[in-house]
Chain A
Amino acid sequence: MTRLLGSGSLVVALGVAIYAALALLAGARRKRTDLLRSGELALYAVWGLVTTATLSMVYALVSHDFSVKYVAMVGSRATPLFYTVISLWGALEGSILFWIFVLTSLSALVTYQNRDRQGTLVPYAGGVLMMISIFFLIMLVGPANPFGLVSPTPADGPGPNPLLQNHILMGVHPPLLYLGYVGMSVPFAFGIGAVLSGEIENDGWIRLTRKWSLVAWMFLSAAIIAGMWWSYEVLGWGGYWAWDPVENASFIPWLTATAFLHSVMVQERRGLLKLWNLNLIVATFALTILGTFLTRSGVLSSVHAFSEGPIGRYFLGFITIVLISSFALVAGNSERLRPTGNLDAAVSRESVFLLNNLFLTAFTITVLVGTLFPLVAEAIRGVKVSVGEPFFNRMTLPICTALLFLMGVGPALPWRAASGDVVKRQLLPPTVVAVIALVVSLVIGVRSPYALAAFSFGAFALAANAREFIDGAAARRRAHGESPPVALARLVGGNRRRYGGYIAHLGVLTVTLGIGASSTFRAEREATLKKGETMAIGPFTVRLDDVYRRDEPQRMVLAAGVTILKGGREVGRMEPRMNFYPTQDQPVPTPSVRTRPAGDLYINLQAFAQDGSNATLRVIQEPLVPWIWAGGMIVVLGALVSLGAGLKERLPARAAVRAPAAPRPATAALEEAAR
C-alpha cells in the first residue's frame, strides 16, 4: 500500500511537473494569465505529490515495510528510530527522493513568496525549477526508483551503512548540504528567468537572486563545516579535511557562490560585472550537479558512492544540457549585459572585489582540476592515479593568503577611488597588528611559511574587520551617547547587510585560526598499553584501565576505558571504541574526543589483543579545533544578520513594483550620495 502510494505519487508528479514547466514557460512567453495560474497550481501540486512520496518512504522505513526495495536495502529492525528516519538519505535512491523533496519545496516557497510580483521573471524561474525537477523525477521513476517491490518480503534488512549510523551529525550534515546544493537552483532559475523575461536589463531580479544565493550559501557553509566535524568525530584519523573528492565536490560550488556574493555588490553599486555574475550563477548550479554526479555515480570510491548504476550517464547528460543551453542563452544576451559604469580607479573597493573574484576563480579551477584529473587520466590513458594532498596545499595556500589580505583591505577602502591618505590611515593599524602577530608566531616557534602567512594575514584581516565594529560603535557613542552594547547593536541593525558580511568574515577568520593552530601545533603519539600502563602527551598522561565488550541491540561495542591525568590529578575518563555491525566485516572506529576551548584531546582505539590484555591507542592533541566549528556558526550568524536586511526591504520593494515605475533621478542621486 505504502509502496503504491509512493511510486504512484512520483509517476503522477512527473506528469504534472511536465505540465507545470510547459504551462509556466508558454504562459510567460505569450503573457497568458490563465496558463500562468494553472502552471502555478500544477507547481504546488508537484510539491504535494513529492511530499506524499517522501512521507510514504519515511512511513515505510519506520514501519519496517521490507517489501519496499529501499527499506530492504537500508532498514533493519535493530536500528534505533533516529537512524531509521535519517536513513532516508543514507543511500542513493532515498537521497534523490530527499533532493527532489527539497527542490520542490523551495520551488513552491519561491513561487508563493513572489505570487504578487508583476512581470514574467517568477513564472520563468518556476518553469526552470520544474525542468530541473523533471530530471530528478525521471531518475526516481526509472533507474533510481526506491519503491520497487521485493518479493518474497524479507523478515529483516541489513540496516544503514555503519559509518552513517555511528554519529548524530549524520542527521545534520546531509540535510544542510541538500539545502545548500538544491538552494543554488533558485538563483540559477532566477538568472535564466531574468534573461528569458528580459528583466535582465533592470536590476530588480538581482535582489531576489542575491537573497537566495545567500540562503543557499549559508546552508552550504554550515554543511561543509558539519561534514568536517563528522569526518573528525567518526573516521578516527584526527583530521577534518583531506582534499578528498567528496569534500571538494561540496567546496567548489561554495567558492563560486562566495565569489558571486562579493561581485554582485559591484553590480549593484557600480553597474559592472553583469555578464560575469550571470556566469557565476550558472557555474555554481552546474557545479552542484557535477558534485552530485561525482559523489553519487560511483566514479569515485568513497562512503558517499552508493552504487555503480546507470545514474552516472543520466547526470552527465543533464550537466551537458544545462551547460550548453544556459551558456548559449547567456552568450546570446551578452549585449544586454554590458556594464553601465566604469572602473574609476585601481585602488578602490570594487577593484578589491575584482581581485577577490580573480583569486576565488583560480581557487575553483585548482580544486576542480585536482579533483577531475584522476577521472580524465583514467578515461584517456587508462591509468589509475590520485592527486596528492601536496598539490592542493601548495596551490591553494598562497591563494588563501591573498584572500585573507583582501578580506582586510576590502572593508577598509571606499567605493570608486581611495586617496593615498585614506589608504594609509585605514591600513596602518591592521598592518601593525599583522606585524605583531608575525613576531609572536615566530617567538612561540612557528616556522612553516604557510602558518606564518596564515597567522599574520589572518591577524591583518581580523584587525581590519574588527575595526569596522569598534570605530562605528565609537562614533555612535560620541554622536548619541549610547552605551557600547547598544551602540554596537544599533550599528549592526542599521546596516545589517554590511555588518552581516563583516560578521561572516570574522567567522571565516575564526575557522582559519582553528585550522592554522590545529595543523601547526598538532601532537600525535601511538602506543600499545597494557592495563594500568600510561603514556604522556603534552601536559596529559593517558592511562589504560580496561578493555571490555558491550552488546547493544544493533551492534557490538569493544571499548577501552582510559583515564586522563594532568599534573598527577584525574581530569577525565574517555572511552574510545570500535563498533561492530553484523553486516560489515570491518569494525567502525569510534574515537573519543575531549573538547575544551583551548583544544581537543582525541583518542582512537587502533587495535586490541584478543584476550583483552592490551590495546593500541592513538592519542592526538589538537589545539583550537573547536574554534573551527564555532567559526562555522559565526559565519551562519553573519549570513542570518544579512538576510534580516532582506526582510525589512521586502515590503517597500513590493510596493515599488506595483507602483508605476517612474524614474526619479533626484532621489536616486540622493541615495547614491548617501552611500
Chain B
Amino acid sequence: MSNIQGRRKAAVAVAVVVIVAAFAFLLYGNIDKNVVFFLTPQELLSRGPAAYDVPVRLGGLVQAGSVKWDPEKLDLRFVVMDSGGQSVNVHSTGAPPQMFRDGMGVVLEGRYHRDGVFQATELMVKHSNEYRKPEHGERPKDMYKSLVKGAGS
C-alpha cells in the first residue's frame, strides 16, 4: 500500500518537474526572441551586421534641418543623432507628432535595414511627465498661439 502511494507521489513529482521545466523553457525561449534593445545611434552602428533587420528601439535627437515631411504621401524622413555625433537616417510612414521639431528627443521602434535606413514603425516623442517651467526660448504658449493663423475663433 505505502509502496503504491510512494510511487504515486514520485510520479506526481516527476510530472511537476517536467511541466515546470517545459514551461520555463518556453518562457525563456520566447523572451529571448522578443527582447527589444534600446540603443543610441552609436550603439546601433557599432553592432555591425548584427544590427540589421532585428526589432530595436532607437533613441536620439532629431538633427537640425533634416526633417522632410510629405503630407500627401504620408512620407516622413529625418536623421536622428546622438551626443557623440553619430547619426542614422530614418524613414517612416504616417504623420509626425504635431510640433515635431529640430533637436527634440525621440524614441523610434523599428528595424535597421541593409540600405542604411532605419524603418520606424512607431515614433514616440520623449518628454517627461514632470512639470517644469518652460526654459528660456521655449514658451509653448507663444508657440501654439501662432498655429492656424487666422482660423482662430
Output the least CB separation between A46 and chain B (Å): 32
Asked whether A386 lies within 8 Å of B57 as measured between CB atoms, the reply is yes
Asked whether A586 lies within 8 Å of B38 as measured between CB atoms, the reply is no
Asked whether A611 lies within 8 Å of B149 as measured between CB atoms, the reply is yes
Q: Does A391 reach chain B (CB closer than 8 Å)? A: yes
Q: Does A494 reach chain B (CB closer than 8 Å)? A: no
Within 8 A of A (CB), among B93-122: 94-99
Complex Cα–Cα for A53 and B71 (A): 53
Given the complex, which residues of B lie within 8 Å of A30, measured CB to CB? Answer: none
Within 8 A of B (CB), among A546-592: 547-551, 556, 558, 578, 580, 582-587
Q: Does A4 reach chain B (CB closer than 8 Å)? A: no
Given the complex, which residues of A lie within 8 Å of B71, measured CB to CB? Answer: 528, 607, 609, 614, 616
Q: Does A305 reach chain B (CB closer than 8 Å)? A: yes
Given the complex, which residues of B lie within 8 Å of A365, measured CB to CB? Answer: 23, 27
Given the complex, which residues of B lie within 8 Å of A583, measured CB to CB? Answer: 131, 134, 140
Asked whether A586 lies within 8 Å of B127 as measured between CB atoms, the reply is yes
Output the least CB separation between A36 and chain B (Å): 44
Within 8 A of A (CB), among B122-153: 125, 127, 129-131, 134, 138, 140-141, 143-153
Given the complex, which residues of B lie within 8 Å of A586, measured CB to CB? Answer: 97-99, 125, 127
Complex Cα–Cα for A586 and B127 (A): 8
Cβ-neighbour of B36 out of A388, A578, A582, A611 (below 8 A) = A388
Complex Cα–Cα for A257 and B125 (A): 37
Asked whether B37 lies within 8 Å of A549 as measured between CB atoms, the reply is no
Asked whether A585 lies within 8 Å of B99 as measured between CB atoms, the reply is yes
Main secondary structure of the interface of A (DSSP, over half): mixed
Asked whether A391 lies within 8 Å of B98 as measured between CB atoms, the reply is no
Given A303-B129, A369-B27, A384-B37, A606:B149 Cβ within 8 A: no
Cβ-neighbour of A391 out of B30, B130, B140, B144 (below 8 A) = B30
Complex Cα–Cα for A586 and B143 (A): 11
Q: Does A73 reach chain B (CB closer than 8 Å)? A: yes
Given the complex, which residues of A lie within 8 Å of B130, measured CB to CB? Answer: 307
Output the least CB separation between A272 and chain B (Å): 14
Given A362-B23, A370-B31, A586-B97, A385:B144 Cβ within 8 A: no
Cβ-neighbour of B151 out of A305, A369, A547, A585 (below 8 A) = A547
Q: Does B35 reach chain A (CB closer than 8 Å)? A: yes
Q: Does B26 reach chain A (CB closer than 8 Å)? A: yes
Cβ-neighbour of B153 out of A158, A394, A548 (below 8 A) = A548
Given the complex, which residues of A lie within 8 Å of B125, measured CB to CB? Answer: 586
What interface size band does chain B fall in? 35 or more
Complex Cα–Cα for A395 and B34 (A): 11
Complex Cα–Cα for A74 and B131 (A): 9
Q: Does A332 reach chain B (CB closer than 8 Å)? A: no
Asked whether B94 lies within 8 Å of A395 as measured between CB atoms, the reply is no
Asked whether A612 lies within 8 Å of B148 as measured between CB atoms, the reply is yes
Asked whether A578 lies within 8 Å of B151 as measured between CB atoms, the reply is no
Asked whether A610 lies within 8 Å of B140 as measured between CB atoms, the reply is no
Q: Does A161 reach chain B (CB closer than 8 Å)? A: yes
Asked whether A558 lies within 8 Å of B147 as measured between CB atoms, the reply is yes
Complex Cα–Cα for A583 and B125 (A): 16
Output the least CB separation between B139 and chain A (Å): 9
Nearest to A580 among chain B residues (CB) is B144
Cβ-neighbour of B148 out of A369, A549, A618 (below 8 A) = A549
Given the complex, which residues of B lie within 8 Å of A112, measured CB to CB? Answer: none
Output the least CB separation between A561 and chain B (Å): 11
Output the least CB separation between B118 and chain A (Å): 17
Complex Cα–Cα for A74 and B140 (A): 18
Given the complex, which residues of B lie within 8 Å of A556, measured CB to CB? Answer: 144-145
Nearest to A369 among chain B residues (CB) is B27
Asked whether A610 lies within 8 Å of B148 as measured between CB atoms, the reply is yes
Given the complex, which residues of B lie within 8 Å of A606, measured CB to CB? Answer: 94-95, 98
Complex Cα–Cα for A606 and B125 (A): 13
Output the least CB separation between A195 and chain B (Å): 26
Complex Cα–Cα for A88 and B73 (A): 45
Output the least CB separation between B151 and chain A (Å): 4
Given the complex, which residues of B lie within 8 Å of A228, measured CB to CB? Answer: none
Output the least CB separation between A137 and chain B (Å): 26
Given A387-B35, A388-B35, A607-B96, A584:B153 Cβ within 8 A: no
Asked whether B95 lies within 8 Å of A616 as measured between CB atoms, the reply is yes
Asked whether A607 lies within 8 Å of B95 as measured between CB atoms, the reply is yes
Asked whether A395 lies within 8 Å of B96 as measured between CB atoms, the reply is no
B residues with CB within 8 A of A: 23, 26-27, 30-31, 33-39, 55, 57, 71-72, 74, 94-99, 125, 127, 129-131, 134, 138, 140-141, 143-153
Seed contacts A610-B147, A611-B149; 12 additional CB < 8 Å A-B pairs: A369-B31, A384-B37, A385-B37, A387-B31, A395-B30, A528-B95, A547-B148, A549-B152, A558-B148, A584-B140, A585-B134, A585-B138
- A-B contact list, 21 entries, CB within 8 Å: A303-B129, A306-B129, A307-B130, A385-B37, A387-B35, A388-B55, A528-B71, A528-B74, A528-B95, A547-B151, A549-B147, A549-B153, A558-B148, A582-B140, A582-B141, A586-B97, A586-B99, A586-B125, A607-B96, A608-B148, A616-B95
